[in-house]
Amino acid sequence: MIPWYLLKFYAQRHSKFTASCIVLLIINLLFYNLFHIFLILWVFIIGVIFAYSLLSPISVLPNLLPIYSKKSKHKNLGDDELTLMKTVCTVCGLRRCPRHRPELNILAFQPWTNLDIHKSVDDALHEFFNIVLKEFVYTWYRELSEDEEFVDELRTNFRFLASVMFRRMKKLDVPELVTKRLLRASVQHIDLCVQAYKEADYKGDIQQIVLDFMGSNVHCAMWSRKAELEYLRRLVESLFPYILRPQALNSRSTCALVRELLAGAVLLPTLDAIANPDLINNLLLVFFDKTPPPQATEPPSPMVPFLGQFSQARARNQSCLRLELKDVINPECPELLYPFMQFLKSEAAVNVLQFCLACSDFNRRILNPDASQSEFSDLHSTVKDLYNVYCAPNALDRIKFDDDIVETLREVVEGPPDQVIKLRTSAPLFKAYEHAYNLLENNFLPMFHQSDDYYSMICGDRPNALLTKQMSSFFGGKLNSLRFYLSLVKSFMQTKKKDFTLAQFGNKLKDVFKSADERLSNNIEPALDGMSLNSVSQPSVCVEEELEDSSLDCDHSMHDLSSWRVTIPRIGARPDPENPRKQYFVFIIDIRRLDVEEGEERKQQWTVARRYAEFYVLEQKLTEFHGELLECQLPAKKSFGTNKHDFTEGKKSDFENYLQKLLTKPHLRNSELLYQFLTSEHEFSTSFLPGIKLGKFVKTKLVKEKGQHLDEFLVTFATSTEASKPKSSKLSRRGSDTSLMSTSSDKLSGTHFDNNMNFGFQPPSSKRDLPHQVKDIDGAFDYLLFLLKNVFRAPEWFMGLMFSARILLKETVENYLDYHIEYKLSQVTQEHRLVGLVNLLKEILFFDDDPPRSDEDKRIRYASAYKELLDFLPDVLHTALGNSNTREGCELLLQIFQQPKLNKQLSYVLLDIVVQELFPELK
């Protein structure tokens, strides 16, 4: 039974329907003899109640046209790129192999494996990437070197990048991406524009109105043109672990160059072109064009490896240090084979080498035309051992071969001994040998070239740890500066006259290695094993000059700063040496040592005066040597008004806390910089690094400063010693008489977008909550209803009719749309059309020499697009909406896409969606 309160609830909710039923019931009771006539009305009412109870506004019928359904993409986990790269071992074929390194997988080094495309498409991509290298690499690289090895490395990285993108795009469900995500973002963008324009009462510049309406909710790339380029750089950098070779990730120069090429030379101009309103109008005209697409006039070209021709090495490596695999695995050269075998043992891959050697010997024996029947039995036993050890599914040293190779070998092994003769003419064993050989050559040999085993083979054993430690102690910890001083000597020798000899230079370094610790010297001399001290000392140890200040002696016991206590009790005034009538104020720092008892000769307490700027010099130098100290930072530095008493007095507590925190850091307890700051009476400024002169390179206190960030400082310092190079004459840009500009400056000077929203890198902090009416809408049919209601302002009766049709047609229309997108995608990805698309992109980026289109030409194209949009809508829709609403809706919709900055905002939103779909790891 239906509860009475439910009947009462629905009766009150649908009062008109309830009143009609009651009136019909009363009339039926009064004229009961006409019940057979009223029965028709009662059946209709019962049907309405039944339909109402089963259907709801969110109910829809299933697809009525099942033949128009897209083909579902079954994601084969066995072919998933990430699964292969992370779980399947290339050496043994096991998932999550605990024996071999995971990065040895073939897809981690060669994602183009088994990736074939049509030759014509490969040629088009080959030409496109060659133009990229010609325009953005060879223009400056030719002036540096004629060696092609660097460019070959870039070619391999481009192939790696394109292969990864190709593999990921093949797995992408494009119809779902378009209808579920891209279409939603586009409709949401249109909705924000309509709401902003409605608030302004449809008056004014729609672009500025919408940007003001969105405020700081715009995409971060829209803050400014520099922020846009920086965003693209960060985006490309975030993709590096997935789109670059593992070896390239360790090369900062390669990463920087690839980042600039992709961000500044490809993505930025491509997004600028996409956001150009004139191009959007042209794309609309192409979409509305009813001319059938061109058909292929030539037969399909053969399949070739993806960008195989493009990545072929142009330079031959003539280095005698890079050995060929055929020389390394030659049994007649054990001095090369043994170190390589030791390296493979450390990688748990010596079975690959053993298989190659055994297979090579087997092929030599089986190809002997004079082999007897007994030798065939031995060969059969050998191939059986090869199969059981390296090919059997449960073999301990199993190598991953193709299934057809393993199956053919299994048939030979299980057959009679005379069946081994099949391996003389068939290819399985040769293919297995080639697979193992390529594994050694492409994966293990490059790793061997960078290993300690290879270093030991070429240069001999490394110095033992004890000797290295003793030498490090003997030279006062200065061996870390070896590379720096070698570069200084080299620079000095190149800049001085030719008649200046190394012997003269050595005379300037006399008495450098005097040591007061004779015991340590006696311990080191036997360990040197006959080595000349001068042969080691000249490039290894820094030059120490005697310091005039007696307070800065080299007693390391004084340098335990953790036992020091500092305060800034007062501010002192000093006369300005430049103007005696004026004065400046200094911080009087009081230093007290807890490790010095009364009566000792060393000072227990003293004061030192430091100016405001000297604290920031200390902070700068500590950052250079030790990295950024997040917990110890000074307030932001001011440039003006720092000599006033009130200002200095206000900074006293901040600077006191800063020094006290520095003394608590364990890695600063022996800092020579901090020691000099607290003890020296001389001004602590950036000039404490003297100029380079003979016998006087760098002060002892600087050299003894140890930290983790010396490399950047040493490189900068060494660069500063070199003479400035003469400026070369600048070349003119292609098609222009102006001077050569950087790619960034040229690309950031777009006329369509000005400086985007001109926020710089500091957008407004105020944010408003933007309405999201599209948030709960799902599906292309619902987006159509949304546009009809908000853009075309369809009448209520028509919207009610469309909502009723939604129940019947939603699934059918959306499935047909997915099918249509998939069909169009298959048409677009035909061979001849892919070639056309690549050539079109090439023309837009590199050969767009057409004169700029005039405003009149743009207006004509806009008018044509507007007319085609009106004609595209069916006549039934014109009649239902009314000509006025239809024209106003089409004009508003088209006007939204005539705003370059709004188009750029939408393009970056869509770009983020596509990148997240291609690289779900970024989510």
* Most confidently predicted of 115-129, 526-540, 544-558, 704-718: 115-129
Asked if pLDDT for residue 529 goes beyond 70, the answer is no
Contact at 8 Å (CB) between 593 and 566?
no
pTM of the model: 0.57
Q: Report the range of poorest mean pLDDT among 174-183, 453-462, 577-586, 628-637.
A: 453-462
Please report the DSSP string for 428-452 in residue order: HHHHHHHHHHHHIIIIIHHHHHTSH
CA-based nearest residue to 538, from 473, 480, 472, 489: 489
Query: Which tens digits make up the pLDDT trace of 271-308?
Result: 998 899 998 999 899 888 888 877 888 888 999 888 88
Contact at 8 Å (CB) between 241 and 867?
no
Query: Which tens digits make up the pLDDT trace of 328-366?
Result: 888 777 788 888 888 887 777 788 888 888 888 887 777
Mean pLDDT estimate for the chain: 75
Report pLDDT for 198.
Answer: 87
In three-state form (DSSP H/G/I as H, E/B as E, the rest C), the secondary structure along 147-182 is CCHHHHHHHHHHHHHHHHHHHHHHCCCHHHHHHHHH
Rounded CA separation 315/409 (Å): 39
Rounded CA separation 882/109 (Å): 62
Contact at 8 Å (CB) between 908 and 271?
yes
Report pLDDT for 318.
Answer: 59
Residue 587 phi, psi (nearest 5): -95, 125
Report pLDDT for 866.
Answer: 92
Please report the DSSP string for 604-625 in residue order: SEEEEEE-HHHHHHHHHHHHHH
Contact at 8 Å (CB) between 783 and 187?
yes
Rounded CA separation 652/705 (Å): 27
Q: How many angstroms separate the Cα of 391 from the Cα of each of 91, 198, 415? A: 11, 72, 16
Rounded CA separation 628/632 (Å): 9
Report pLDDT for 887.
Answer: 92
Percent of the chain at pLDDT exceeding 70? 73
SS3 854: coil
Tokens for 313, please give them.
Answer: 């090495």
CA-based nearest residue to 677, from 598, 589, 764: 589
